[in-house]
């Protein structure tokens, strides 16, 4: 009975996983940028993700290690743009900011992360990530590149694991790449391609508007899913004979999608290269973890004799159905 139901269960599970309203790059932490403009005087930009006019009630609080309190004053001109509420503050204190404790008040009541970037007059910079379970941190007295590495690697990892459309594309590539050598070659081509455009777009060398990019990413998933179905029907094409070429070509497009997410998050100016490398590293780790999880699941199902012969075709139909929905959804958002 279980074997008879297995194809249906696989199809339903795929559709439930992939048909979730997919706004790729939903991983949007709050972002606090602190710039010292004079000794003991700081300008703050506080970006909080907003949905439907609803803005989480979270704000930065500074607690000095010793001496008088910091004076944090909100400035006029708060506004909402591109899914974020933007607030500006002026911070003043007679004690140095390094060594003080920063707390994001109310963060523990949310599911948001908060990325913090501190730039001081001496040219040094501190970057770190706060989470609901750890909403406060002592601002380091000396900059630590490891904090940038850890923060942006984690953001890249979380981004790819929450980016359902990118994962769907990787899954579709796995359906057309036959054999371990070809799968490795295809995954490497995809990684190389999106790393190129991620770097170029993040560094400002090229730029594409996000709505068309998002629509074309959905279309790329649909096209590879169609080729996976054709392969199962005995009609192999370039996508199945040379999947690494398709992975590289569409990977360039997906890199612009990753860059859009990274630009929303924000990059530290003085540690730009390290942050970019770390984010890309996190994306690759998440991608490899996803591929490993799928291969492990398939291996387990084969050992239990629960993997029907029609499973690859069903998976291709499920991915293609979700991708077609995303194409029309994003076209409507572009022209609606």
Sequence-distant (≥ 6) Cβ neighbours of residue 324 within 8 angstroms: 222
What mean pLDDT do residues 122-130 have?
82
Residue 31: the pLDDT is: 92
pLDDT in tens, 22-54: 444 335 789 999 999 999 999 999 999 987 778
Determine contact, residues 126/144, Cβ cutoff 8 Å. yes
Q: What is the CATH number of domain 30-143?
A: 2.60.40
Q: How many other CB atoms are there within 10 angstroms of residue 218's CB atom? A: 25
Residue 302: the pLDDT is: 81
Query: Phi/psi at 115 (nearest 5 deg)?
Result: -95, 130
**Angle of CA points 268, 270, 275, to nearest 5°:** 50
In the numeric block, the tokens 């939903």 are attached to 26
Q: Which of the residue ranges 122-136, 153-167, 217-231, 268-282 would you say has the lowest mean pLDDT?
A: 268-282
| Closest by CA position to 29, among listed 224, 166, 162, 210 | 162
Threshold 0.75, pTM exceeds: no
**Angle of CA points 233, 238, 244, to nearest 5°:** 115
pLDDT in tens, 50-69: 877 789 999 999 988 776 78
Give the pairing of strands 101-105 and 41-49: unpaired
Share of the chain above pLDDT 70, in %: 90
Rounded distance between C-alpha atoms, residue 230 and residue 252, angstroms: 24
Determine contact, residues 70/93, Cβ cutoff 8 Å. yes
**219 or 25: which carries more pLDDT confidence?**
219
Q: What tokens were used for 102?
A: 């920063």
Q: If 0-12 CB within 10 Å is exposed, 13-18 middle and 19+ buried, where does residue 47 land?
A: buried
Q: How confident is the model at residue 143 (pLDDT cuts 50, 70, 90)?
A: low
Calculate the alpha carbon distances from 97 to 32, 196, 205 in Å: 14, 37, 34
Rounded distance between C-alpha atoms, residue 29 and residue 79, angstroms: 18
**92 or 150: which carries more pLDDT confidence?**
92
Q: Which of the residue ranges 123-127, 206-210, 218-222, 308-312 would you say has the lowest mean pLDDT?
A: 123-127
pLDDT in tens, 147-198: 788 888 988 888 888 888 899 999 999 999 888 889 889 989 999 999 999 9
Q: How confident is the model at residue 3 (pLDDT cuts 50, 70, 90)?
A: very low
**Strand partners for 134:** 131
Residue 27: the pLDDT is: 57
Domain boundaries, the chain: 2-26+163-335, 30-143
Q: What tokens were used for 31?
A: 């972002």
Rounded distance between C-alpha atoms, residue 86 and residue 78, angstroms: 6
Computed over every residue of the chain, the mean pLDDT equals 84
SS3 content of the chain, % helix, strand, coil (to 5): 55, 20, 25
Share of the chain above pLDDT 90, in %: 40
């Amino acid at each position: 009975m279980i074997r008879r139901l297995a194809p249906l269960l696989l199809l339903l599970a795929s559709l439930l996983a992939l048909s979730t309203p997919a706004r790729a790059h939903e991983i949007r932490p709050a972002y606090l940028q602190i710039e010292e403009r004079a000794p003991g005087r700081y300008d703050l930009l506080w970006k909080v993700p907003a949905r439907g006019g609803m803005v989480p009630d979270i704000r930065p609080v500074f607690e000095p290690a010793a001496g008088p309190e910091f004076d944090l004053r909100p400035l006029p001109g708060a506004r909402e743009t591109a899914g974020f509420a933007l607030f500006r503050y002026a911070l003043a204190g007679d004690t140095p900011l390094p060594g003080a404790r920063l707390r994001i008040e109310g963060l523990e009541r949310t599911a948001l992360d908060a990325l913090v970037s501190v730039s001081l007059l001496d040219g040094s910079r501190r970057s770190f990530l706060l989470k609901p379970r750890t909403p406060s941190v002592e601002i380091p007295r000396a900059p630590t590149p490891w904090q940038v590495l850890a923060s942006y690697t984690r953001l890249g990892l979380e981004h790819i694991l929450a980016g359902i459309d990118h994962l769907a594309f990787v899954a579709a590539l796995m359906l057309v790449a036959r054999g371990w050598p070809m799968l490795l070659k295809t995954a490497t081509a995809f990684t190389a391609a999106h790393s190129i455009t991620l770097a170029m777009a993040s560094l400002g060398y090229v730029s594409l508007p996000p709505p068309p990019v998002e629509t074309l990413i959905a279309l790329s998933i649909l096209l590879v899913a169609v080729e996976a179905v054709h392969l199962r029907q005995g009609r192999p094409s370039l996508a199945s004979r040379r999947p690494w070429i398709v992975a590289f070509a569409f990977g360039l497009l997906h890199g612009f999608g990753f860059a859009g997410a990274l630009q929303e998050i924000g990059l530290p100016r003085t540690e730009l290269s390290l942050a970019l490398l770390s984010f890309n590293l996190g994306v690759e780790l998440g991608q490899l973890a996803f591929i490993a999880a799928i291969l492990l699941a398939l291996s387990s199902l084969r050992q239990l004799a629960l993997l029907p012969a029609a499973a690859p075709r069903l998976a291709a139909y499920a991915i293609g159905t979700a991708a077609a929905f995303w194409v029309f959804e994003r076209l409507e958002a572009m022209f609606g």
